[in-house]
Chains A and B, each alone.
Chain A
Amino acid sequence: MTTPLLEVDGPAAPPRDNGELVFAEPWESRAFGLAVTLHDAGSFTWDDFRDHLVARIAYWERSHPEGECYSYYRCWLQALESVVQERGLVADGEVTGRAGELAERPAGHDHEHDEGHGHGHGH
């Protein structure tokens, strides 16, 4: 394993259970993996990403809607989106546009193919 990047204490520390990282839903581990992979490829520094993450968490704490539960990985994803946009890796509105296209897929879109037809997005 390489030098650990993740904090153990403080707001930027990911949720853990008995020391293990906890991903409540599959997208959380994909969002996590994206950040780690991009950092490893030199797309941004970890300090830079962490600054975005800390800012997102602070923003949520200041201004979240009444009754909305805190989600660490929601903040993580927002931080990731803003850092890749800042670095010019994606254009403004591009992720929203693509996510909108994905939302238009018919229900069950990813279960229509035969077994073994890889989807590549970790469902």
Chain B
Amino acid sequence: MNVLFPATVEAALEALCAEPDAHVMAGGTDLLVRCRAEQNRPETLVCLEKVADLAGFEISDGRIRIGAATSMTAVLENAAVRERLPLLHGAAKVFASPLVRNMATLGGNVCTASPAADMLPPLYALGAEVELRSLSGVRTMPVNDFIVGPGQMALAPGELLSAIIIPIPEGRTIQYFEKVGRRKALAISVVSLAALLRVEDGVIAEARLAWGSVGPMVIRCPEAEALLKGRSLTLGALREAGEKVRDTVSPISDVRASAEYRRQVAANLLLRLAQISGAH
């Protein structure tokens, strides 16, 4: 196997052009596990760990730009993320294990394009954009347009995910992330909920809700969001929204849980929001 260690984004992009079949490896915690399971070894790997300008945080104009190859440990420990994007911080906190977080990257998790990827529901709820670089330039698009199917991304040949750009929510928000897994750490999500609520004068002005592991991709539920808008945050309102969620999600049954369990819990998790906000 040929492993390349470009030092710059340009060099990485050139390597991808030169070797169209090359796989990109960031932290390797997903890629190498899949190679083992599928018993295949890519001919060429382009390893991003030495590309300096792919990692790090930039905070400006009401947004936080996180380099795609930023480790999950760095995401978890970043003060701006903790203070301004508690939703993302909350997901990073329960991401795999400390050891995996030292290696895995935010961009890598996005590029699994898995409905069970812990970081995706928060990014959907936050309205994050991805920044894509190629030798011909840079483009951005909303993360929900980037993910086009399970394991599939709108990534052109020779293109690289270079950053995730997250707008900082305005006003007073409730941001809550919960992952239901089979254990505390190293859990693959059975259901996850990322909720971002803007509450003004006790009334929900905006609700953005995204679920993981209850469909082929991350699922938003506009009906539930619309239902909550203009109401106060009560168990009753959340229960009604939950009914919409049950109809929207399309989970499967697997070794971790049945579809019915996932459907029920996807709705149930909304009720936690009442507890978080102290409402009844």
Same complex origin of A and B = no
Residues of B whose CB lies within 8 Å of any CB of A are none
